[in-house]
Each structure stands twice: as structure tokens, then as C-alpha cells.
Structure 1
Amino acid sequence: MRFTEVTGAGGVRLAVREAGDPARPTIAFVHGWAQSGEVWAHQLRDLAADFHLLAVDLRGHGRSAVPADGYGDTRVWADDLAAVLALAGGPATVVGWSYGGLVITDYLRHHGCAALSGIVLVGALTEIGRGRPGGATGPVMRAALPDVLSEDADVAVPAVLALTRGMTAGPAPDVQARVAATLAVPPAVRRALFTRDVGSGDVLADTRVPVVVAHGTEDAVVAPAAAEYALGKIPGASARWFPGVGHLPFAERADAFTRTVAALAGGRKE
């Protein structure tokens, strides 16, 4: 694996983990709220022999720059992802976890499907805001808010720890690393990502590439109802349910999830 950089909307520097041969089909991974491209470690290792892999650190996260604004603008997120996809040699499969699904939806709103060969939404939001069904949250996420957004470490740290432990149906892997990744994102950025109000039903209905909606049946962060909403809106979308799994199918059932992604990106059935 190697790191490269691209220039996103407004000239913001975005760090991208890259693996595999650029001549092979590209899979681009988009992480969730207050994490980084590191969450895709299993996939970056196990898919590198057959695919060209890209895993961005979103603006304000990981090794990417931390601009003061832009977090509430759908066009900014769309253009950031477009800059990453420009590294692909052709149409790419894009995989979005949690908030990463919302970023993909932003991209579709402004750029359409021409540069995409497929989409995997995993534990994903496709909308955000009060009453938006594509953004339905579970009890662990609801309990964590608003404390995980606090400037006060005495408030934020225990809330982030509880959220991290609640992400999985069983014992949570890499708890300290995930907590550290969240707390490394400035509180102002963590808050800004929650200030949006975006509906996406029309965008999902216009999606014209193969889509897999992958979701853990025990996800208590993004409710399975959010997956059902996407499945009901996206023409021809297929469901990949992970029984007994929480919010991290790519870590809780890494091998099975990786096969799901490889099947879509390789144009074959799992």
C-alpha cells in the first residue's frame, strides 16, 4: 500500500491510500463519520492482487487537510469524491460505509453514474436530517449524540468509547484505534457533518448502475430501516444482509464482505 494525494473542492488536499495495479478495475472506498481510510485495511490487503484500490481520508479526517468550512455543501463532497475517482483508469466501483454512503449520494446528485461501474452501500446513510428515512439511526447512535460532538473531553471521550463499543454485535475490534481516529477529528468538524439536511429519494431513483446494499441485521448505529429505504428507491438494487452483525460488516465478517465487493467489481455473482 502507498499514499498519494489529490486536490479536492476548493483546493483542499485529500490523502488517499492506494494499492494494487492501476491497470486493473478500480474500487474506491469511502469511510464513515470521524474515521479514516484505515477502516478498509482487510480489503486493501485482500483485494490488491486483483483490483486497483483507493481509500480516501475525507476532508477533515485522517491525513487529509482540515478546512474551516465546506462540510455542509453537497457539491463539495461530490467534487472531493470526483477528484479521487479521477485516479481510476475507467469506471470504478465505489464502496461507502455509514456517512460515506451520503458522500456517494452527493456525488450522484452532481455527477451522475457515468464514472461508476457499481456501488456498495454498507451500513450506509443516503440522507440526513430530522425525519429523513434514509438516515435512520439506531439506539447506540442516538445515545451518543450530542456528547460525541462536544468540545469538552470529559464529555466526548466516554461517549465516543461507548459508540465505538456499540458498533459491533460482539466484542468490538480495534477499539482504541477507532476511538483515537474519532477524537483526532476536530469537534467542529464532527459537529459540522451533522448540521446537514439532505433528502435523496430522487437521486437514488435515478441511479442506473448495479448497487448492493450491505447491512448488518444488528446494526445499532445506522438502523436497518435506512438500508430498506435505499433498497426501495434504487432500481434493481440487491440486498446483502449480514445476520448477527452490527455496523462493521467489513471487519466483523471481513472475508464475506470482501467477497461481496469483489463479486460486484468483477461483474459476477457472489
Structure 2
Amino acid sequence: MIAGVVGAGGAALAVRVAGDPARPPIVFVHGWAQSGAVWANQFADPDLLREHYLLAVDLRGHGSSDIPDDGYDNPAVWAEDLAAVLRLAGSPATVVGWSYGGLVITDYVRERGCAELAGIVLVGALTEIGKNRPGGAIGSLMRDAIPGALSEDPALALPTVATLTAGMTAEPASGGETQRRIGATLSVPPRVRKALFKRDTGSADVLSGITVPTLVAHGTEDRVVDPAAAAYALGKIPGATARWFPGVGHLPFAERVDEFNRTLREAAVGRKG
């Protein structure tokens, strides 16, 4: 089922919802140039559906959400967008951020503290962005993809996005799944793909001020977001715990579905607000 919420500036945001709204909520925040559909394996998990209310937002400019002209470089905008989803959740939620989604969660904490958060799970996540920002360390695959993946020129963008997408997993994904991910990226307008990188944001003080239980999950073979970014978050967030996925790339929730879902269920225990 798709629900709608209104984010910053009146932007309409699409939110996939499943499970019992009376159960403890888990809110999923996807990464750069994807959509809430990346969490399909979590939405298909019978244990997660039985135990939790699941919500996966399409960020502004992505998926079925509105594509505003601006706001992509503004932490207050991302914070308000996430706050709108948390209001739909109805009670303090465990918030799961993958890749750029980790930066969105960090923006929320920057602007609003840990209000309405029961816990945080960072998955292959950024918490900073900009040159020489350790919480935003990207891997070789992502470095090679810029600027081609941001280009208006299809002759540059298409092969670059295909290479980037195919390399996100340590082991090859199915052709159909890889093509679906490529399609999701290319459906995000180039100006939005580019705007998401037009930021220079440090987060050391923000991370140090997190007051809810936090799990940092990362694939050891991630070539999109360097594992050093996870190590940075672990060193800054008080009491944060690590869950490394050996031999896994940028998509632990798709590459090791059962293992990731068990980890997520365990992380959500005791965070029921």
C-alpha cells in the first residue's frame, strides 16, 4: 500500500506501508537515486511484518514523490521530510538509513535531536558529505562514477550508471534486479542526482549528540561508501554497535537478506517507544 505525506515546502512524498500500525514502527530511508522499493525483501519478511509497522519513503525527487526545484542541499528540508514520515508512523520509530539515507537521518538529528526516534540503523551509510569529510568517504566505484552518473548526456550517464549499479554487490545480482536498479537511478532527473552532491556538511557534533541506540551495519567489500565511513560513525556515536557483513558490498539488505533481517529485528528489540 502507498500512503502520502506532505514534506517541506508542500512536497508530496510517497510512503510504502505494510504491517500493523499498532506495532512498533520501522522507517526505511533509501539512498542516492533509488526509491523505497529497495526494501522489498524487508517488506516481504513475515517476521518483520508480524512484529512491526513498516514504512519506506521515496525521498523528494525520487520514485513516486514530487520533484521540487530546490531543497536538496538543505538539512532543514530533509529533517522536515523525515519528520512527516515519522508522524505517519505514529510512535517513536527505529529509522534505517542506507547510503545517502544515513545523511538524511543525520540531518534530522542535526535539526531536531532524537525526538521521535527509538533507534537508528545505518546501513552502508554516509553521515557527512564533502571533500575530506571522513563520514562521507566514498569507495573507488563511486569515485569512478562521478561525474558520468550525474550527467545530462545519456551517452555518459547510461554506461556509467550501469557499471556503478552492477558493482554495488560483491556477487553479481540477477539481470532483472540490476536493470530495475539502473531504471530507478535513471528515473531520477540528472539535476536531482547532481544536486544531492552539492553539499559540504560535517557531522561530528551531531553524531556525538545521538542519544538513542544505534547500529552501524556495513559490507566489508563496499566500494560505494567506504567502510571507513562506518568506522567514523562508530567512533563518534556514543554506544554505537557494529555489524560487519563479510564479503558483502553496498547492499547487505539484498545480498544477505535473512541475515540482515534477523539483525534488523534484533536491533529493533527494546526500541518500541
Which category describes the TM-score, using the shorter chain as reference length?
over 0.9
CA-to-aligned-CA distance 1:22-69 (integer Å, 9 cap, x gap): 000000000000000000001111111110000000000000000011
Which residue type is aligned with residue 83 of structure 1?
A
Which residue type is aligned with residue 28 of structure 1?
V
**Residues of 2 paired with 1:137 and 1:215: CA distance?**
13
Counterpart residue number, 1:264: 267
State the superposition RMSD in angstroms: 0.8
How do residues 108-123 of structure 1 correspond to structure 2 at under 5 angstroms?
108-123=109-124
Counterpart residue number, 2:157: 156
Counterpart residue number, 1:244: 247
- Say yes or no: does 1:95 pair with 2:96: yes
Which residue type is aligned with residue 139 of structure 1?
S
**Residues of 1 paired with 2:118 and 2:105: CA distance?**
13
**Residues of 1 paired with 2:132 and 2:90: CA distance?**
39
**Residues of 2 paired with 1:62 and 1:225: CA distance?**
29
Percent pairwise identity: 69
Counterpart residue number, 1:10: 9
TM-score by length of 1: 0.98
| 1:201 pairs with one of 204, 207, 227 | 204
CA-to-aligned-CA distance 1:196-250 (integer Å, 9 cap, x gap): 1100000000001000000000000000000000000000000000000000000
> Which secondary structure state, in structure 2, belongs to the residue aligned with residue 19 of structure 1?
strand
Offset of 1:266 from its aligned partner? 2.1
Counterpart residue number, 1:254: 257
Aligned residues: 267
- Say yes or no: does 1:178 pair with 2:184: no
CA-to-aligned-CA distance 1:78-137 (integer Å, 9 cap, x gap): 000000000122110000000000000000001111211110000000000000000000
> Which secondary structure state, in structure 2, belongs to the residue aligned with residue 258 of structure 1?
helix
TM-score by length of 2: 0.97
Contact 1:164/1:172, CA 8 A, preserved across alignment? no
Which residue type is aligned with residue 153 of structure 2?
D
Counterpart residue number, 1:86: 87
Offset of 1:261 from its aligned partner? 1.1
**Residues of 2 paired with 1:215 and 1:45: CA distance?**
22
